[in-house]
DNA sequence: AAGTGGTCTAGACCACCGT
DNA sequence: CGGTGGTCTAGACCACTTC
């Protein structure tokens, strides 16, 4: 990647995570960052905006740029792409493939994916296990013309790392709908909870940068183990 | 407000909502917007970035700026400040004040608000009623030194409109934690659901632009009626 | 008053899409 | 190829905080 502001943002993110600024809880001034990275002010400001949007810092006019307090516990991060592995860093995560094959879109799925019924899709159902205990069930449909190949080995790790790093997909944006339901019997058994216990649900519609919907997914979380964190800026 | 890019963003948002671009599903090009608003390209791009972040449009390099598909109205929007009134436009919303007075912070609340125990706070408990049916219970604590006055009249409408428009608070950012619990008996009664039915919970920590935490809140939603929508961009 | 972030301009060049 | 967005620069002036 040759894009300066992204490289600077990623570098600063790493430094923040490593605790480089923990003494002062403050970032260097724009002026100092301009000198350090030898770029124009706008480029620094664009990099910094990334950090603001990622929830790491906040800016105070006339005063400086400050670290936001760390989110202590292990939360699911709505804004990140790379899923549980990146969110729950202090945990051991395993993935059990419950099902993986090519199917033809039924009417409902086709409607969600804005494609014809019968379109070829990958259907993946996985059980995520965190610290030896069942954590969530993830059911996904991928358009096969966008994701031409998938296997158990890939699906056992991060599918998104594969999509981004190997298939070079340009993932653009997503709609996420969160709600809460009484769980069904089959899922209850998989998650080791009682039937009619609640479940936290995230339904996900993911698009490429050109607007094409390529994935539909539904994640069912263990209601006692999953918490979602969302950091928001108003500007 | 004399800030050009915000005015342009707000104007374009209104036009999008009014259906001005529904024929083409496409925004005018940057060039056209520059001419229309008589500002520099960077100002247009900053305005457009706001619309991207608000989830209205997506940009495709070399091609144009396109409308995202409408989200059917009835979702709670995580990113918006002005609460239910703005989110559920097609519904009738009433608010019943269950409690409103000044209290002294107990240890737990003080910890959450990063203040001393005993600090004066407004405590507000409200029942939100949507289309004649109980929808959510909202329990909030506001620091009294930031919000010096609050009454039933204000709390019956949008507290945030009051904070922004009258008190001129500069609200900066928030942490939102979403999870799912079995509901307690008292709340079940208020929401007209069975004890031990699930509940969708949003816990909220809200800060001014200068980093001061001024509100802590917990919203308990009717699990069958509430859905949260979050639109995300990866860039 | 000095320091620091916020807004805005004008212009150059690059990267990608569609014809 | 022309059209359109993406990145980057250099510089001016404003607004807020801090002392």
Interatomic CA–C1' length for residue B29 and nucleotide D11, angstroms: 27
Nucleotide nearest to B58 (CA to C1'): D5
Task: Measure B158 CA to nearest chain A CA, in Å.
Answer: 17
Q: Does domain B5-67 have CATH number 1.10.10.10?
A: yes
Residues of chain A neighbouring B172 (CB-CB closer than 8 A): 58, 233-235
Using the beta-carbon criterion (under 8 Å), do A60 and B210 form an inter-chain contact?
A: yes
- Mean pLDDT over A19-43 rounds to 97
Per-residue model confidence as pLDDT tens digits over A161-197: 999 999 999 999 999 999 999 999 999 999 999 988 9
Residue A124: both structure tokens together: 């993946």
How far is the CA of A123 from the CAs of A103, A111, A150, in angstroms? 6, 16, 10
Nearest to A232 among B78, B180, B211 (CB): B78
Spatial neighbors of A131 by CB under 8 A, at least 6 apart, are A91, A92
pLDDT of residue B152: 97
pLDDT of residue B82: 72
Nearest to A174 among B42, B172, B232 (CB): B232
Per-residue model confidence as pLDDT tens digits over B96-124: 999 999 999 999 999 999 999 999 999 99
Interatomic CA–C1' length for residue A43 and nucleotide D9, angstroms: 9
Nucleotide nearest to B33 (CA to C1'): D4
**Hey, do B5-67 and B76-229 end up sharing a CATH topology, with the first three levels equal?**
no
Per-residue model confidence as pLDDT tens digits over B140-153: 999 999 999 999 99
| Residue with nearest Cα to nucleotide D10 C1' | A40
- Strand, coil or helix: what is A226? coil
Quick one: CATH architecture of B76-229?
3-Layer(aba) Sandwich (3.40)
How many angstroms separate the CA atoms of B96 and B134, rounded? 10
Residues of chain B neighbouring A27 (CB-CB closer than 8 A): none
Angle between helix A30-37 and helix A41-53 axes, rounded to 10 deg: 110
Per-residue model confidence as pLDDT tens digits over B121-175: 999 999 999 999 999 999 999 999 999 999 999 999 899 999 999 999 999 999 9
| Residue with nearest Cα to nucleotide D3 C1' | B62
Dihedral angle at the C-alpha atoms of A5, A10, A14, A19, nearest 10 degrees?
Answer: 40
pLDDT of residue A11: 98
How many angstroms separate the CA atoms of B214 and B205, rounded? 8
B1 close to A (CB below 8 A)? no
Q: Are strands A228-233 and A76-77 parallel, antiparallel or unpaired?
A: parallel
Residue A58: both structure tokens together: 């906040």
- Mean pLDDT over B213-227 rounds to 96
Within the 154-173 window of chain B, which residues sit less than 8 Å (CB to CB) from chain A? 171-173
Residues of chain B neighbouring A111 (CB-CB closer than 8 A): none
Per-residue model confidence as pLDDT tens digits over A108-144: 999 999 999 999 999 999 999 999 999 999 999 999 9
- Mean pLDDT of chain A, nearest integer: 94
Residue with tokens 């979702």: B75
Residue-range domain boundaries for chain B: 5-67, 76-229
Percent of chain B topping pLDDT 70: 99
As beta bridge partners, residue B199 has: B181, B222
**pTM for the predicted model, two decimal places:** 0.94
What does DSSP assign to residue A119? -
Which helix (DSSP H) or strand (DSSP E) does residue A86 occupy? Answer: helix A83-87
Interatomic CA–C1' length for residue A60 and nucleotide D16, angstroms: 9
HEC-encoded secondary structure of chain B: CCCHHHHHHHHHHHHHHCCCCCCCCECCCHHHHHHHHCCCHHHHHHHHHHHHHCCCEEEECCCEEEECCCCCCCCEECCCCCHHHHHCCCCCEEEEEEEEEEEECCHHHHHHHCCCCCCEEEEEEEEEEECCEEEEEEEEEEECCCCCCCCHHHHHCCHHHHHHHHCCCCEEEEEEEEEEEECCHHHHHHHCCCCCCEEEEEEEEEEECCCCEEEEEEEEEECCCCCEEEEEECC
Using the beta-carbon criterion (under 8 Å), do B234 and A58 form an inter-chain contact?
A: no
Interatomic CA–C1' length for residue A224 and nucleotide C2, angstroms: 53
Angle between helix A30-37 and helix A4-17 axes, rounded to 10 deg: 110
Asked if B222 contacts B187 with a C-beta cutoff of 8 angstroms, the reply is no
Residue A191: both structure tokens together: 């998650």
pLDDT of residue B70: 83
Task: Measure A94 CA to nearest chain B CA, in Å.
Answer: 22
How many angstroms separate the CA atoms of B9 and B58, rounded? 14
The answer on pLDDT for B1 being more than 70 is no
How many angstroms separate the CA atoms of A139 and A118, rounded? 19
Q: Which of B2, B6, B1, B4 is nearest to B50 (CA)?
A: B6
A146 close to B (CB below 8 A)? no
């Amino acid at each position: 990647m040759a894009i300066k502001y992204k490289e600077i943002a990623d570098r600063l993110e790493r430094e923040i995570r490593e605790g480089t600024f923990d003494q002062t809880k403050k970032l260097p001034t724009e002026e100092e960052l301009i000198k350090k990275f030898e770029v124009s002010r706008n480029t620094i400001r664009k990099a910094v905006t990334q950090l603001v949007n990622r929830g790491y810092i906040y800016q105070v006019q006339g005063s400086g740029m400050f670290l936001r307090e760390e989110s202590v516990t292990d939360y699911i991060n709505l804004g990140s792409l790379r899923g549980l592995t990146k969110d729950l860093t202090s945990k051991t995560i395993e993935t059990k493939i419950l099902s993986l094959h090519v199917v033809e879109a039924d009417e409902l799925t086709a409607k969600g994916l804005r494609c014809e019924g019968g379109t070829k899709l990958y259907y993946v159902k996985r059980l995520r296990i965190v610290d030896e205990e069942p954590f969530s069930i993830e059911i996904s449909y991928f358009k096969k013309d966008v994701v031409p190949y998938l296997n158990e080995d890939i699906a056992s790790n991060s599918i998104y790392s594969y999509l981004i790093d190997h298939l070079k997909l340009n993932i653009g944006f997503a709609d996420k709908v969160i709600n809460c339901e009484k769980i069904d019997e089959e899922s209850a058994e998989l998650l080791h909870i009682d039937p009619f216990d609640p479940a936290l649900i995230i339904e996900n519609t993911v698009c490429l940068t050109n607007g094409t919907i390529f994935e539909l997914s539904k994640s069912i979380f263990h209601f006692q183990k999953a918490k979602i964190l969302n950091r928001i800026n108003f500007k």
